Chain A
Amino acid sequence: MSGMFPGFLILSAALFAIGAVGVLVRRNPLVVFMSIELMLNAANLALITYARYTDTMAGQIFALFVIAVAASEVVVGLALITGVYRSGRRLDLDELSEMSE
C-alpha cells in the first residue's frame, strides 16, 4: 500500500496538468468548463490521498466542499454560456474575449 502513495500524487499532478492545458488550448467554452472540472477532481484526489496517508479527516471534508463548490460553479457557468448563445454569438472563446455588449 505504501508504494502507491507517490503514484496517487503523480496521477493527481498529471490530471491537473492535462486539465490546465485544456483550459489554455481549447476554444469551446463547454470544453474549458470540463477541463476546470478535471482540475478540481485532480485536487480532490490529492486531498483524499493525503487524508488517507496521514490518518486525518480534514482532506475528505475539504473534498466534499470542493465538490459542492464545483457543482454550483457549473450551474452558474452553464447559465452564462446559454445566455451568450442566446444573444446570437458563436461559442468561441477567441471571439468572446470581451464581456461587454
Chain B
Amino acid sequence: MTVIFGIAAGLALVGALGVVLSQRTLYSALSLVVNMVSLAVLFLLLDAQFLAAVQIIVYAGAVMVLFVFIIALLSPGAEERVHPLEVRLLLGGLAAVVFTLVIGRLTLNGITVAGNGRLHGGLGPFAPTVVNAHGQVQTLGEQLFTTYLLPFEVTSLLLLVAAVGAVYLSKRRRPLL
C-alpha cells in the first residue's frame, strides 16, 4: 500500500514538474497525462473507484485529447525558452517550497489520527466497508440524485452554457447583414 502510494506520488510530482518546466507545449501535455493517471491510482488507494474511472475518462481522455488537438492545430512555432536558472523560475521554486510547507503545516494543524487509522471527531456514516458492501457507484449515485440534486442540475446547465459559449467563440465572424 505504502509502496504504491510512493510510486504514484513520485510520478505525480514528476508529471507536475514536467508540465511547468517543459520547453515544448506537447511535452507539457504528456507530463500532465502522467500526472492525471498517477492521481487516478491515488484515488483508487483512497477507495474512490468511480472517481478514478472518471479521472481517466474525462481528464486523461477527453480534456487531454482536446489539449493535444489544440496544440497540434495552433502548433505555436516560436516556443518560449524556460531556462532552469532564470530568476523568476528560481523565485517561483522557492515560493512553491514555502507554500507547500505552510499549507502542509496548516492542513495538519489540530488533526489527530486515532490508532485504527480514522480521524478523531465527527465521522460520517460512509465508512469504506459500508460503502463497498452497498456498492460504491450506487452510494455515490443515490447521494448525487437526492441530497445534491440541485447542484447536479446546475452543473448540467453550466455544461450547456460552456458548449454554447465555445461554439459561439470559435465561430467565424461574419459581418451582420
Contact between chains at A79 and B151 (CB < 8 Å) = no
- The interface bits of chain B over 1-22 (1 if a CB of A lies within 8 angstroms of the residue's CB, else 0) are 1100100010011001101101
Say what secondary structure dominates the interface of chain B.
helix
User: A34-B67, A67-B55, A79-B165 in contact; A21/B20 too (CB < 8 A)?
Assistant: yes
B residues apposed to A, CB below 8 Å: 1-2, 5, 9, 12-13, 16-17, 19-20, 22, 25, 28-29, 32, 35-36, 39, 42-43, 45-48, 50-51, 54-55, 58-59, 62-63, 66-67, 70-71, 73-74, 76, 78-80, 82, 88-89, 92-93, 95-97, 99-100, 103-104, 107-108, 111, 113-119, 121-128, 131, 139-140, 143-144, 148, 151, 155, 158-159, 161-163, 165-166, 169-170
A residues apposed to B, CB below 8 Å: 1-11, 13-22, 24-28, 30-31, 33-35, 37-38, 41, 44-46, 48-49, 51-58, 60-61, 63-65, 67-76, 78-83, 85, 90-92
10 further A-B pairs in the complex, CB-CB below 8 A; given A74-B67, A83-B170, A92-B80:
A16-B99, A25-B92, A33-B67, A52-B46, A57-B131, A60-B50, A69-B155, A70-B63, A73-B162, A75-B165
